[in-house]
Homo-oligomer: A and B are copies of this chain.
Amino acid sequence: MKPKRVGGTRDFSPLEVNRRNYIYNTLRKIFVNFGFQPIETPAIEQLSTLEGKYGEEGDKLLYKIRRNKNLLSNLKEKHSGNQKGDYDIETTLASLQQYHPDSFIPAASDKGLRYDLTVPFARYAVMHRNEIKLPFKRYQIQNVWRGDNPQKGRYCEFYQCDVDVIGSDSLLYEAELAQIYDQAFAAFGLEVVIRINNRKLLEGLAAYCGHPDLFQTIVVIIDKLDKIAWDGVAKELAGLGLDEEAIAKAKAFIECSTLEELTQLVGEVEVAQQGIEELQEVLSFLDGYEFKNQLLIDFSLARGLSYYTGCIYEVIVDTNAEGQEKIKMGSIGGGGRYANLTGIFGWKGVSGVGVSFGADRIYDVLEDLNLFNDEDFNTTKVLVMAMGEDELKYSFKVAQQLRKANVATEVFPDVVNPKKLAKKLKYPDARNIPYVMIIGESEMQDGKPQVKDMQARTETRQTVKEFISSL
């Protein structure tokens, strides 16, 4: 049989795994430095935990799972003595089995695959509320699954990297998260714009336009600004019932470029004033901190998700930065403050704030901009090749000596005929192994292997010790 993969899933080859781990490890190091701790939750959750949390569209994308037991016997067990009216389970099953033997599996187990890391985190927090201490700072780097139609850049299985703190209203966490974004992307060598806004300002915007009740709908429309531009937004706002004056007010609002300007415009709208004060407080924590990226207060930033209640973030690649003009990529990070995440599982009044890193998109951007330092990954440094049987045994010991000095080493398993050496060197070449040690009789006798530098195409005779100290 010819094997195939499931659409929307990917295999990762060694270089890709190393690059992905570099991204996760870079983030992990920064999260830990800020006092965040790792948790992990299972891939399989109760469907009741997942369903109804991601909107109607999200529910459709959930993967359902169950054990692959014998279907018929399972069903009979479940439905035994359960015949009602004119409906006979035995007959029905017999027909199904006859004509569509593999078409049905019972969904009785009601399990599903993790769809994001936020809901499992809320479940975790509630189930472990007696052991965790608030504020609880956690990060989580794990796979999620979505049964979406696969297309370029959209996968059914991909990683999320989330960092959240729950159990405190303090805005110092909003400031920390801005620093985390700044330091992470600086570590990647990527220049980004960290956009920040506050949901209370959007509430203020709706009030300022005279439509406080339409707040959530207005958020959804303004969220499309990047895609449909102002004219599109204005049209949708008009469709919602806003008159020309209200639309002009909305435009003036989102076009403000400083907190002072906005204060002059809407300082008297109470909820807007709260949002302004919150952003001022965040900035006052960051006073004196030198951003390596641009922190941009952007009153047009909306974020789609309805559960945000305070500050919101979005990170985009800075296409003004040198060499990054060609990158057309949506947001590579986002997040915000939510007043009541654990409430869905019965733990009320726990405020939280968190951000997420779009690891797959970051990967693509780093690749496009040649920002991976592949030579930093710990891969095989030396391949030892032997010219004879005794030399092979000797090579095995040489490898051991190199490994003891933490020089990643392989031994070529076949005895190499000197006449075929050039051909055999294609193997380390294709593998990008930088050094080949060749051991023949004389090399074994004087303990000085021939060392080929595969890039410089030079050869020397060195003892293993000399070679190790030359690295």
Contact = CB atoms under 8 A, between A and B. Distances in A.
Interface of A: 1-6, 9-14, 16-18, 20-21, 32-35, 37-46, 48-49, 59-70, 75, 78-79, 84, 87, 89, 92, 95-96, 98-100, 102-108, 110-113, 122-124, 126-128, 131, 133, 135, 137-138, 143, 145, 147, 156-157, 168, 170, 172-173, 175-176, 179, 284-285, 287-289, 344-346, 378-380, 383, 392-393, 396-397, 400, 403, 406, 408-411, 413-414, 427, 430-431
Contacts of A170: 413-414
Given A44-B145, A107-B103, A67 B78 contact: no
A393 B40 contact: no
A4 to B, nearest CB: 6
Contacts of A124: 11
Among A1, A48, A70, A102, the one with the most B-chain Cβ atoms within 10 Å of its Cβ is A1
Nearest to A86: B95
Among A67, A108, A397, A414, the one with the most B-chain Cβ atoms within 10 Å of its Cβ is A67
A393 B287 contact: yes
Contacts of A396: 172, 175, 285
Q: Which 9 pairs across A and B sit closest by C-beta, in order of nearness?
A: A170-B413, A67-B147, A35-B410, A9-B42, A14-B37, A17-B38, A12-B40, A62-B68, A65-B65
Contacts of A18: 38
A346 B63 contact: no
B68 A61 contact: yes
B289 A400 contact: yes
Contacts of A397: 288-289
Number of copies: 2
Among A1, A44, A156, the one with the most B-chain Cβ atoms within 10 Å of its Cβ is A44
Contacts of A1: 48, 344-346
Nearest to A345: B3
A42 B3 CA distance: 14
A403 B70 CA distance: 56
A5 B61 contact: no
A108 B105 CA distance: 9
Contacts of A430: 133
Nearest to A45: B6
Nearest to A392: B172
Contacts of A92: 92, 95-96
B65 A60 contact: no
B43 A393 contact: no
A4 B285 CA distance: 39
A409 B32 CA distance: 8
A263 B106 CA distance: 57
A5 to B, nearest CB: 7
B39 A127 contact: no
Contacts of A126: 3
B133 A431 contact: yes
Contacts of A288: 397
Contacts of A32: 378-379, 408
A276 to B, nearest CB: 19
Contacts of A46: 3-6
Contacts of A112: 68
Nearest to A342: B3
A64 B59 contact: no
A75 B95 contact: no
A393 B284 contact: yes
A13 B63 contact: no
A183 B124 CA distance: 36
A397 B122 CA distance: 31
Nearest to A107: B105
Given A87-B98, A175-B396, A44 B128 contact: no
Contact of A65 (B12, B113, B127): B113
Nearest to A103: B106
A103 B75 contact: yes
A37 B379 contact: yes
A39 B40 CA distance: 21
